[in-house]
Amino acid sequence: MAQDNDKHADKPSEPDPLQDGPSGPPRVPDRRAGNRASRYLRTDDTPLNLAGRVLRSRWRALSDKFNRDFMRRTLRIGVSARIFHPEPGALGLRSKNLQYLEESIAQWVMSRDVLVFMVPTVNTNGLLHPSNITMRHYARHLDGLVLQGGADVSPMTYSETPTRPEWSGDRARDVYELELLHEFVDAGKPVLGICRGCQLINVAFGGTLHQDVATDVPGAQPHVHDLYDAHRHAIVFPQGSSLRKMFPRHERAVVNSIHHQAVKDLGRDIHVEAMSEPDGIVEAIRYQRAPFVMGLQWHPEFHRAKGGDLLDCTPVLDEFLRAARETRL
């Protein structure tokens, strides 16, 4: 018996598979022994079925991320520049070409949590600072365009001669904004014209303007006054106009009036959206061959939202921004 015990004592014991061995950490039993599939896999699964489910899952994740990013990306709206031309004999800034935007128009657009970018003029043939950037690049990368107010549209732009020297307008700005407008229209992006911008949209499609309402339409009420943006008058929306649909509770509204020029002959595919009351001067237009190209003769950025008796124009801004989101790439 003692000998048998000695034999058992001298015999090396079997290695424990879960204990540390000379070659490294504990070994885990191979559960796939015998070519058995992992327990979480379906018994009737094939590599092709599994690959299909993986691809569908990845596609859903990418699609959800794209949708979130697409809907959340902040809109980028361009605003055309006002231009200050150098004054003869002036020094400093007044001796330079300046391009700027009015604070109120930028803040009105930004009130809907969008980014605003002023679009400067471009000069591909400049001697000092030539650039390959064109208006088409701005139309491609921005989601919409606002044409802000300012100097008169030059009668030369619609093939007329100024009847008075002070009504000669800003031909240089006309050329710049017309190119900008057409590039955005060609790109399918929405455009909203304010005051001068409304007149420019009409001219861009072959229309003309009253160089001076008081002169051309003697019976018209005053459309410009020393009160500037405090001056106002009533407007009405004709049947079928999109503005009438935006303001279903307003058969008649009150807007500010800061213009001595106005739409005369309508351009191609231009429809009247609003008229002043009682003289019938065109106060808003829309180009019919684009998703959204609208001009307002008044300044909605000067209307305090839901304040006073002036028309709250945020529905127009919202419609413009909806078009920008729907037509962007």
Question: Which positions are annotated as active-site residues?
Answer: 195, 299, 301
Number of neighbouring beta carbons within 10 Å of residue 273: 25
Q: Looking up tokens 């009247």, which residue turns up?
A: 272
List the structure tokens of 107: 């803040």
Task: Tell me the H-state helices in 142-233.
Answer: 171-186, 196-204, 213-216
Question: Is 153 exposed, middle or buried (CB count within 10 Å of its CB: 0-12, 13-18, 19+)?
Answer: buried
Backbone angles phi, psi at 118, to 5 degrees: -75, 130
Distance CA 189, CA 198 (A): 16
Q: What's the residue count for the chain?
A: 329
275-299 in b/e form (b: 16+ CB < 10 A) is: bbbeeebbbbbbbeebebbbbbbbb
